C-alpha cells in the first residue's frame, strides 16, 4: 500500500473507531450489567471478575417481585406487535391498492390526510388519543394499544406501498381487465405476489414500531398483567429499591428480538423504507 493509501486508511479509522465506541457503549454497558454479579455491577469495572448468567436465570424464573409477570409481559409485547403488524398490512395494502391501482375517487385526499398524520409528532397525538380511548371505553385494554399503533404505522406504510405500487406497469391491470378479472382477483392474484418485498418491509416496520413503543403503551395500559415489557421496565424505575442488574438484564432481553427481526429482514427494510425518501 502506498503512502497516500495508508493516509486514507488512517483517516477512515479516525472516524470509524469513535463511531464504534459511540454506537456500542450504551449497549455494552447494558450487557455488562446483565452478566455482572449484583455487588460488582456498580463498581465501574469494564469487565466483571466473574461473569455470570445468574441474572438471566432470575429473570427467566421470575424470581423477583418486579418480575412476577415477566413471561406474560413478554407475550403481551409479542401479541401487540404481531397484531399491529398484521392489522397495518391489511389496512395499508387495501388503501395503497385502491389509491394507486384502482384510482378510487378521493384517493388523493386520503393520501394527503395520511401524510398529514405521518408528519404530526406522535407525542402530540398521544394526549388526545388517550382521552379518546377513555371515551371509547378501551383504556387498559390491549386493543387500545393495537389500534393506536396501527393508526401511527399506517400512514407511512400506505405511502411506501403506494410508491412501490405506482412503479408496477399499467399494462398489468389492463391485461387483467381484458381477461375479465375482477378487481379482487387482480388484487389477490397479481398485486399481492408482486408487492411481497414491500409488504415484508412494512409488516416488519409496523411490528418493530409497536414492540419498541413506550409512550403510548405507558399511557394506554396500566395493569401489571396487561402491560408490555417496556412499560414494566419503566415501572421498575419508579421504585427506590430497584434491582438495577435485573432491570438491565430484562432490558437486554427486551432489546434482542427487535434486533434479530431487523437483521433478518434487513434487505427488505433498507430498500423498502429508504426508496421513497430519496425520490423527494
Partner 1 sequence: MATVALPQVEQVPSGPQRSGISPWQKWGMILISPYVLVFIVFVMYPVGYGLWLARHPVSYEHLFEDPIFARSVINTIVFVVVGINVKMVIALVLSGFFIQARTWIKWLSFLFILPWAVPSIPTILSIRFMLNPEWGLINSLIFRFTGADGPNWLNDPTLALGIAMLVHIWKSLPFWTLILIAGRLAIPAEHYEAASVDGATSWQKFRFITWPSMRTLYLTCSILSMIWTMGDFNSVYLLTGGGPADLTHVLATLGIRYLRLDQVDLSMAAIVVALPAVLPLVYFMMKRLSK
> Which DSSP symbol is given to 222?
-
Residues 80-119 that bind partner 1 (CB under 8 A): 90-92, 94-95, 97-99, 102-105, 107-108, 110-117, 119
The answer to whether residue 274 forms part of the interface with partner 1 (CB under 8 A) is yes
Minimum CB distance to partner 1, residue 42 (Å) = 4
Residues 29-68 that bind partner 1 (CB under 8 A): 29-30, 32-33, 42-46
Minimum CB distance to partner 1, residue 106 (Å) = 8
Q: Which residues have a Cβ under 8 Å from the Cβ of 197 and sit 6 or more positions away?
A: 268, 271, 272
The answer to whether residue 130 forms part of the interface with partner 1 (CB under 8 A) is yes
- First-to-last CA distance in the chain? 41
CA distances from 165 to 72, 102, 115 (A): 39, 11, 17
Reading the block at residue 193, the C-alpha cell is 405476489
Residues 179-218 that bind partner 1 (CB under 8 A): 182-184, 187, 208, 211-215
**Quick one: residue 88, left, alpha or beta (phi over 0 = left, psi -120 to 50 = alpha)?**
alpha
Distance CA 79, CA 73 (A): 10
Which residue in 78, 82, 122, 172 binds partner 1 (CB under 8 A)?
122
Cell match 407525542: residue?
Answer: 123
The answer to whether residue 10 forms part of the interface with partner 1 (CB under 8 A) is no
Positive or negative CA dihedral for 7, 13, 16, 18? Answer: negative
Size of the residue set binding partner 1 (CB under 8 A): 97
User: Which is closer to partner 1, CB of 75 or CB of 263?
Assistant: 263
Minimum CB distance to partner 1, residue 114 (Å) = 7
User: Which is closer to partner 1, CB of 121 or CB of 169?
Assistant: 121
The answer to whether residue 129 forms part of the interface with partner 1 (CB under 8 A) is yes
Residues 238-257 that bind partner 1 (CB under 8 A): 244, 247-248, 250-252, 254-255
The answer to whether residue 72 forms part of the interface with partner 1 (CB under 8 A) is no
| DSSP character string of 45-78 | -SS-SS--SHHHHHHHTT-SGGGTTHHHHHHHHH
Amino acid at each position: 500500500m502506498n503512502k497516500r493509501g495508508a493516509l486514507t486508511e488512517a483517516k477512515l479509522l479516525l472516524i470509524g473507531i469513535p463511531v464504534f465506541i459511540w454506537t456500542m457503549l450504551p449497549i455494552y454497558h447494558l450487557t455488562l450489567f446483565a452478566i455482572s454479579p449484583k455487588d460488582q455491577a456498580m463498581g465501574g469495572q469494564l469487565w466483571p471478575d466473574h461473569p455470570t448468567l445468574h441474572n438471566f436465570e432470575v429473570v427467566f424464573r421470575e424470581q423477583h417481585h418486579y418480575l412476577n409477570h415477566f413471561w406474560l409481559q413478554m407475550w403481551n409485547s409479542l401479541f401487540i406487535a404481531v397484531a399491529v403488524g398484521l392489522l397495518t398490512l391489511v389496512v395499508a395494502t387495501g388503501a395503497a391498492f385502491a389509491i394507486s391501482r384502482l384510482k378510487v375517487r378521493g384517493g388523493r385526499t386520503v393520501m394527503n390526510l395520511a401524510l398529514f398524520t405521518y408528519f404530526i409528532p406522535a407525542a402530540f397525538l398521544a394526549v388526545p388519543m388517550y382521552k379518546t380511548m377513555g371515551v371509547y371505553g378501551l383504556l387498559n385494554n390491549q386493543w387500545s394499544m393495537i389500534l393506536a399503533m396501527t393508526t401511527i404505522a399506517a400512514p407511512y406504510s400506505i405511502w411506501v406501498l403506494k410508491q412501490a405500487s405506482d412503479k408496477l406497469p399499467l399494462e398489468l391491470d389492463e391485461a387483467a381487465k381484458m381477461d375479465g378479472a375482477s378487481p379482487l382477483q387482480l388484487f389477490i392474484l397479481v398485486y399481492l405476489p408482486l408487492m411481497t418485498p414491500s409488504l415484508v418491509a412494512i409488516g416488519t416496520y409496523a411490528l418493530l414500531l409497536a414492540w419498541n413503543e413506550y409512550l403510548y403503551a405507558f399511557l394506554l395500559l396500566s395493569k401489571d398483567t396487561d402491560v408490555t415489557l417496556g412499560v414494566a421496565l419503566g415501572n421498575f424505575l419508579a421504585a427506590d429499591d430497584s434491582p438495577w442488574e435485573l432491570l438491565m438484564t430484562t432490558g437486554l432481553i427486551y432489546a434482542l428480538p427487535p434486533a434479530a427481526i431487523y437483521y433478518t429482514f434487513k434487505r427488505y427494510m433498507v430498500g423498502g423504507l429508504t426508496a421513497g425518501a430519496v425520490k423527494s
